Structure 1
Amino acid sequence: MSVGLIALLDDIAAMAKLAAASIDDVGAAAAKASAKAAGVVIDDAAVTPRYVTGLTPDRELPIVYRIALGSLRNKLLFLLPAALLLSALAPWALTPLLMLGGAYLCFEGAEKLIEKWLPHEAHAAEALVQPTDPAQVEQSTIKGAIRTDFILSAEIMAIALSTVADTPLWEQGLILVVVSLLITVAVYGVVALIVKLDDIGLHLSRDKTGGAAHSIGTFLVNAMPPLLAGLTVVGTAAMLWVGGGIVVHGLEELGLPFPGHPIAHLAEQAGAMGGGLGSVLGWLTGAALAAVSGLVLGGVIVLGLSGIAKLRR
């Protein structure tokens, strides 16, 4: 074997090792970025099942599938190019845009709570003009879900981009593609399972032997209403926690220590008093205070928009 061929094979082996290391780096970065966006992912998974509530069972999975495709289209065709352009041309704008998305999440969460406690006329009027034709209902449901997903996906992509902003542009693009695929499959896989749990439970509960299958099925059927109600609570809490946390962190990056520093100080104190559970207690304290901050900000936005709407009327 000639020396030139040996050198060529050595170069190929070195390039293969470099490529493998790059793949490992991309995988690790994608996992880190996905974990950082976990709060928005929880909200996405908690919000989506309500779009198929009340529809016929045979249409639930097709609707979830179409929403998932719309979500993937949002991420790969619109948000990914926009994120890469932002990273290349205006990286300084990432923090303000993250804060804007965080404020929107705070607004959504606060509006849900206010609507639950103080329902107002606008939503009552909306309920009167909902379509009644099944095909129109399905189409309207899918469009509404994809619109909501666009906002949540934009926040996920922005959070992921902020995690890998110091990597080369090609690597950022690859990481965002991996994050998009992972999160879409994870979220809508969980959603599909949730919306079919009652059908699975109903099937198992019809077992005539009265064994474990019947008991599990009965449990699933009875558990679905509180599970869906609990998901609504989790989704609202996640909106406020994530949105409030993003805004608080953004203010710190812009040089404004309030309320970030007091929240960090109180979380540290709670952690110090928690003993063996100190880290958990500290995290819960910080998350709760971030959610309170998000609720305050969201409430201010809701009141401001309500005032503007009244002035227009």
Structure 2
Amino acid sequence: MASGLVALLDDIAGLTRLAAASLDDVGAAASKAGVKAAGVVVDDTAVTPRYVTGLSPKRELPIIGRIALGSIRNKLLFLLPAALILSAVAPWALAPLLMLGGAFLCFEGAEKVLEAVGGHHAPVEEDVVTDPVALENQKVAGAIRTDFILSAEIMVIALRQVTELSIVEQAAALAVVAIAITAGVYGVVALIVKADDVGLYLAQRRSGVARRVGRGLVKGVPYLMSVLSVVGTAAMIWVGGGLLLHSAEEIGFGRPAHWVHHVAEGAGGGAIGWIVNAALSGVLGLIVGAIIAWVVHQVAKMRGH
């Protein structure tokens, strides 16, 4: 699933050729942005299906559609203009913002790891909503708020790859990236959410092959969600650590990045070197994320939450 999403983001390079004059430059920049945003995209895909849990199956696709429209609105109406203003007025702020985004990814990933090993904090009590319409609106609003944070990271990562283009080309490239990513993420989410329904339909057919495929889908979807969640968490930590390393290097603190690069090259380069680089970035991301999580929990305790 993760590789499919990354492949989808790589195809953004072809789509951006319709929107920018500098075809090669925009295509390469969008491709880099897609790969670098993989951790955010996979996590977004893994998180979204939980917003339809407990609701009527008939409302699943409409809810996903509402969230997708909110995501497009986040990216095009709010984040894209903000990114262009930032690029024109304070391009020096991109590296620090990427570091903040990387730290947030590390924190989110470390939180999930801590929860998985039993170190989660007590859940916050929330008001129970019994009205179906109110519950749906609440979940959609929560999903769109979460999407805003993830979309902000995606747009900053994408902007970092197109700063050499004109303002018009930047706007066109970012718009195409935003639309392609949103369509890809929520299209995959819709397929995941309805896969069990498709499985049930096939399981009731007369064909033995159809029944076997249907039963396989019904049994496989929970495992798919578990795998996607693990991959999304790992990708968040790895990408977050990588963003911290490379952004710190850009602002003059390059020793950690140089050390990681040296170790990766010493491991043999190529695929092995990439794996070593990703692993070390992940270790850094997990350490940083765990520290941030500890600080956040300590502050919460002091405030009585």
Q: Same fold by TM (over 0.5)?
A: yes
Partner of 1:289: 280
Q: Contact conserved, 2:19 with 2:176, CA < 8 A, in 1?
A: no
C-alpha displacement of 1:121: 5.0
Question: Counterparts of 1:153-168 in structure 2 under 5 Å?
Answer: 153-168=151-166
In terms of Rg, which structure is larger? Answer: 1
1:24 counterpart = 2:28: no
How far the C-alpha of 1:299 sits from its partner, in A, is 0.7
Instruction: Identify which of 224, 229, 232 aligns with 1:232.
Output: 229
1:183 pairs with 2:174: no
Give distance in 1, aligned partners of 2:143 and 2:20: 38
Query: What is the RMSD computed on CA atoms of the aligned residues?
Result: 2.0
**C-alpha distance in 1, partners of 2:238/2:128?**
31
- The aligned runs of 1:118-157 (5 Å cut-off) are 118-120=118-120, 122-123=122-123, 125-126=124-125, 129-157=127-155
Distance 2:115 2:33 in 1: 33
Match of 2:260 in 1: 263
Give the count of matched residue pairs: 286
Q: Give me the identity figure in percent.
A: 59
Contact 1:101 1:243 in 2 (8 A): yes
Give the equivalent residue in structure 2 for 1:66.
Answer: 66
Q: What letter corresponds to residue 74 of structure 1 in structure 2?
A: N
User: 1:192: how far off?
Assistant: 0.7
Range that drifts further, 281-290 or 244-253: 281-290
Higher helix share: 1
2:20–2:169 CA contact under 8 A, matched in 1: no
Give the equivalent residue in structure 2 for 1:90.
Answer: 90
Say which is worse superposed, 282-291 or 70-79, in terms of deviation. Answer: 282-291
Answer whether contact 2:38 2:235 (CA < 8 A) is retained: no
Contact 2:42 2:235 in 1 (8 A): yes
Give the gaps of 5 or more residues in structure 2. 1-17
TM-score (norm 2): 0.88
CA gap 1:47/1:284 in 2 versus in 1, 3 angstroms: farther
Q: CA deviation at 1:148?
A: 1.2
Q: Distance in 1 between matches of 2:280 and 2:128?
A: 37
For the 8 Å contact 2:241–2:285, the answer to whether it is kept is yes
Distance in 1, Cα, partners of 2:280 & 2:168: 37
* Code of the aligned partner of 1:93: A
Q: Which amino acid aligns with 1:303?
A: W
- Name the SS for the 2:122 alignment partner: helix
- 1:9 matched to which residue of 2? none
Q: Which position in structure 2 is the counterpart of 1:254?
A: 251
